[in-house]
Chain A
Amino acid sequence: MKSFLMKSYTFLIFFFLYAPILILMIFSFNDSKSRGNWDGFTVKWYIELFQDGQIASALYYTLVVAIIASLIATVLGTLAAIGINNMHGLPKMMTLNVTYLPMLSPDIVMGISLMLLFIFVKINLGFITMLLAHITFNLPFVIFSVLPKLRQLNNDTYDAALDLGATPFEAYKKVILPQISPGIVTGFLLAFTMSIDDFVVSFFTTGSGVSNLAITIYSMARRGINPKINALLTLMFIFIMAILVFVNYRMAKEKQSEKREKY
């Protein structure tokens, strides 16, 4: 009896979580503008999507911003993580708290505060400002992906490399970097996903003519329902899922190899 109740409850909750998303995806193939009825299978919304110049431009900005922002955040964040790992006491605590700040402050506050900064120093809102904002919210994700890897490092290997005549730079490149690279890649991919998915911060930090997919979806949705949005969201979901499956696969593989090393 108890297990039946548990199963039913679990089913209901998962139904609540998944039914709307599934219906959204199924109706991206519906040959009708009125969403309640199923009027046959079609891919015309997808075709219209690919012919839509506004969406093509949004896709372009989304990808370019995501790639550049996550690359810069990865370099800056990895260096920062190495530094933080060598810090102690109060400076370390302060740096970590500063790192938590963008993760803790509400998106809307981050969006408007960056907007104020850009207006204050008179940079026109647009591509560059959106890029700067994305780098900012990506940094913590990189740092918190790399830091655990650095903590696991055995410091003796670095010293051994120095004793054997490597310069500090060589020792870093040949000894430290290969060991923390899984964390760096994970951080990069997380930052990339966050960037692709971001709406609120982009919404406040971009200007006329430059918008990403999320902003385009929002302005379309504000005007009402449009099956093209269903098609676009379906594609975005599949794309993000593919990245996440890849990240998880990597993490699982690392865990296995760590276990093997232990025993």
Chain B
Amino acid sequence: MKRKFLTAPYLLWMLIFTIIPLVLVVYFSMFETGPDGVRFTTEYLERVFEPIYLKVIGRSIGLALISTLFCLLLGYPMAMILASKELKMRDFLIVLFVLPMWMNFLARTYAWMTLLENNGIINQILAALSLPALNILYTDKAVVLGMVYNFLPFMVLPIYSVLRKIDRSLIEAAEDLGATPARTFFKVIFPLSLSGVASGIIMVFMPAVTTFVISRLLGGGQYMLIGNLIEQQFLTTGDWGFGSSLALILMVFLLLTMGIMAKTDKDQEGGGLW
């Protein structure tokens, strides 16, 4: 039975709409069309490494790292609770955890805009308690908050699915051999959950470092992350060469990150969403 030909239209589609576009990103970042035809140039790629742009890239990576760290610190205990054996209503709590991910991320970001504004509900409550107002909207604190809020479930779920698979007898063995709960955690549970932690980090860090919506809505118009810079090149300045260079460097950086993380996730057990 030869039914492989059924894949042909799909592969043609993916060639035109996925592979060629990615090739075009590489092409536009390295070639320019002048009056005397197409010529190779490194001008666009070099511009990415100019100090002002390096600062933007550094800030994007910095904020994404901080958000990933917060997600890990908040999410790991949550994943442990969800995976703990005595938990009742586990399925229900998992559904509750997945649900916000299906709410449009614009909605989740916009919700914080209304909460954080100067006379928003948080400041109303603080004023009622005669506490000083919180003015973090349009600062990097609001951006980090927005990222943690949007991406926390992406950290919890992969860790949870790995923790669930840990053989209970290993933990019991450690306890029987006299390990304290802390020692059991650091020597047994945490090392066994590293593959989940690695997928969680990828799944939070990737969208956080590429976002332009969270930084635009919660960081205000002046606040530039690499995503905003790319958006600007394509939609405002029309500088596709530079925009493509930024996207190319972003992709290379992400592939490297994923490559390093995939090494940690040797068994490909990281679960993911599906």
Genuine A/B complex: yes
- Cβ of A15 to closest chain B Cβ, rounded Å: 12
Residues of A within 8 A of B99 (CB): 241
Q: Give B127's nearest chain A residue, CB to CB.
A: A36
Q: Mark out the residues of chain A between 77 and 123 whose CB falls within 8 Å of any chain B CB in the assembled complex.
A: 77, 79-80, 82-87, 91, 95, 98-99, 101-102, 104-110, 112-117, 119-120
Bin chain A's interface residue count: 35 or more
Asked if A67 lies at the interface with its beta carbon under 8 angstroms from chain B, I say no
In the bound complex, what is the Cα–Cα distance between A216 and B156 (angstroms)? Answer: 31
Main secondary structure on A side of the interface with B: helix
Q: Are A95 and B7 in contact (CB under 8 A)?
A: yes
Q: Are A36 and B111 in contact (CB under 8 A)?
A: no
Q: Give A35's nearest chain B residue, CB to CB.
A: B114
Q: Mark out the residues of chain B between 1 and 44 whose CB falls within 8 Å of any chain A CB in the assembled complex.
A: 1-11, 13-14, 16-22, 24-25, 28
Residues of B within 8 A of A112 (CB): 25, 230, 234, 243-244, 247
Asked if A1 lies at the interface with its beta carbon under 8 angstroms from chain B, I say no
In the bound complex, what is the Cα–Cα distance between A136 and B244 (angstroms)? Answer: 20
Asked if A27 lies at the interface with its beta carbon under 8 angstroms from chain B, I say yes
Bin chain B's interface residue count: 35 or more
Q: Are A36 and B120 in contact (CB under 8 A)?
A: yes
Q: Are A35 and B120 in contact (CB under 8 A)?
A: yes
Asked if B250 lies at the interface with its beta carbon under 8 angstroms from chain A, I say yes
Cross-chain contact of A114 among B17, B78, B86 (Cβ < 8 A) = B17
Residues of B within 8 A of A117 (CB): 16-17, 20-21, 24
Q: Give B98's nearest chain A residue, CB to CB.
A: A244
The 9 lowest CB-CB distance pairs between A and B, nearest first, are A83-B7, A80-B10, A113-B21, A83-B6, A20-B111, A106-B210, A36-B124, A233-B107, A24-B111
- Beyond the given pairs A21-B108, A109-B247, A109-B250, 7 more chain A to chain B contacts, judged by CB atoms under 8 angstroms and listed by A's residue number, are A17-B149, A24-B110, A80-B6, A106-B251, A114-B17, A117-B20, A217-B107
Give chain A's interface residues, CB within 8 Å of chain B.
Answer: 3, 6, 9-10, 13-14, 16-18, 20-21, 23-24, 27, 34-37, 76-77, 79-80, 82-87, 91, 95, 98-99, 101-102, 104-110, 112-117, 119-120, 132-133, 135-136, 139, 143-144, 168, 193, 197, 199-200, 204, 214, 217-218, 221-222, 225, 229-230, 233, 236-237, 240-241, 244
